Structure 1
Amino acid sequence: MFKTLEQAYQFVKEVKICTVFISDKTEYTSLWEHVDLPEKQPGEKGWGEKMTAVWTWKNQLPAEYPNEIFYGKIKGGLAVLMDIDYLACDHFPQAYKNIQTLDSLAQHIYSKIVVEPWDTTSLRKATIQEVGCTKSQFDTALKNLQITMNIARLNDSQIERDTWVPFSDLYLDIWQQYVRDKNDSK
């Protein structure tokens, strides 16, 4: 059990991958269940100490340790934190799917993100206006782009909204290693 960002960092490095919140959809442990801070008390305003810490750390860990901690989504749409080495060697090679294999809505969203970073709200509004999809369809496509390792959240603690860039823009070394390994195996 821990109470600080540094302890949360050590936890992620130790377990290699964890969900942000508890889920019965996965065997992975969660950051939430290991944080030893009080939950929201009756009558207390806001989220409470534990929720505030977990919500802040999910963004702060990859921002402060961008070469060591990754934030993303796994199959099932669960938010995770993972050790970069685990990401490179284990997760990315299994999770990556070429953008051409995804549906046209995901490809459309990706084509916008490749040109420039987009925050979720602005991207959703523009996409709904351009292609006439629903909010739910957009959210599913954005989640699938994360799960398939095509996009990643920009690691900048100064940016308040989730902002998306191509995975290879943030993690070029992992991308290049994957391409090399794939070519070597041919």
Structure 2
Amino acid sequence: MGVPSSSEAELGQARANRWWVRGRRVGSIERAAGFIGDVGFAVLFPAPRAVVPSLWEAVAGEDEEPFGAGMGTNEQRVWTWKDELPRRGLAWYGAFLAGRGSFLSPELLSALYPGAGEPTDHLALDLSPAAHEIADAIAAEPLPSATLRALIGDRSRYQRAITELQRNLLVTTAGVHESGSGWPAALITLTCHQFDVGGGTDHTFAAARFVDTMLATTPGKLARAYRWPVAQARARLNELVHTDQATFDGTRYLRR
């Protein structure tokens, strides 16, 4: 099915249907996994600068604001699922789309993962010393985020390093570690230990997945989402047009 191209309002309505904003709400972790598998990628909570699917809207609908009345049932669900989905291998989670907490389906993760699927994948990337130190530390087993912050010795440096690793899809969460007091700490693990990745990079598939979910896009938007050069994004989109997987209206690339 194609996408309406006559107005932004029609595109918004089509996206609401495509992104599970309308219809039966997501009320279980199994259905949450089905949602992420269907759309391929989603942020945890919606944001004005990240016009992409969100798990929150699939759970609560488009009119409910998260944390408007504190930690309600829907907030508890999505906050728990952000750690439980990757622990079960149902969806990758980390700071990826627009730098926000994001999910990727295992299929899309495999297509985007930059390494061979080995604990040493980080060595081939230009990362900060702290990022390499974290990757080495969790090569044997997952560790709580609090332990890794103590290892790095500086909260800001830790946050920058873990964000680097997540943006490169090298780490995710594997549940939580109960500390006995306060909020439980996320368990950080290597992506290659939690998911079947490595050797399956397929950027043409990843671009097709993006168009299928966004319904209409541009090379710039695709490039920002996946952190690709704009020229690479344009080449992949043109390839989709040449293989009849998308159309081009002179401004945007549309799902066929």
TM normalised by structure 2 equals 0.55
The CA deviation string for residues 20-63 of structure 1, in whole angstroms up to 9 with x for no partner, is 01122323111112223776675xxx511221121122223333
Amino acid aligned to 2:149: R
After TM superposition, the structure 1 = structure 2 runs for residues 1-186 of structure 1, keeping only pairs within 5 Å, are: 1=22, 2-5=25-28, 6-36=30-60, 47-64=71-88, 66=89, 68-74=90-96, 76-89=98-111, 91-93=112-114, 98-99=122-123, 100-128=125-153, 134-154=154-174, 156=175, 160-171=184-195, 173-178=196-201
Q: CA deviation at 1:9?
A: 2.4
- What is the distance in 2 between the residues matched to 1:157 and 1:122? 12
1:181 alignment counterpart: none
Unaligned runs of 5+ in 2: 1-21, 179-183, 202-256
CA RMSD of aligned residues (A): 2.8
Asked if the contact 1:32–1:54 (Cα under 8 Å) also holds between the matched residues in 2, the reply is yes
Higher fraction of helix: 1
Q: For the structure 1 residues 9 and 149, does the alpha-carbon distance in structure 2 shift closer, same or farther, using more than 3 Å as the test?
A: closer
SS at match of 1:114: coil
Q: TM-score, normalised by structure 1?
A: 0.73
* Alpha-carbon distance in 2 for matches of 1:169, 1:7: 24
Q: Cα gap change, 1:108/1:158 in structure 2, threshold over 3 Å: closer, same or farther?
A: closer
- After superposition, give the CA deviation of every residue in 1:51-110 in whole Å (9 maximum; x if it has no partner): 11211222233334x1x4222221542111221111112x3249x984441111211222
Q: Count residues in correspondence.
A: 164
Structure 1 or 2, whichever has the larger Rg, is 2
TM-superposed deviation, 1:125: 1.2
